[in-house]
Amino acid sequence: MKSILIMGGSDFIGSALAKRLIKCGYQIDILTNGKKGNRL
């Protein structure tokens, strides 16, 4: 399994990318400033 770091993963594009990568079988880590965003 490949791991990917997503920077800014809680915003609209980052969260959509994270969900897509999870469906494709990737393990992801998300780095965010924590000020706003969606929960995955």
Q: What is the mean pLDDT of residues 5-34?
A: 90
pTM of the model: 0.72
Give yes or no for residue 38 having a pLDDT over 80. no
Mean pLDDT of 11-38: 87
CA 35 – CA 22 distance, rounded (Å): 23
Kindly tell me if the per-residue pLDDT of 29 is higher than 80. yes
At 40 the pLDDT is 60
The half-sphere exposure of 2 on its side-chain side, counting CA atoms within 13 A, is 9
Domain ranges of the chain: 1-33
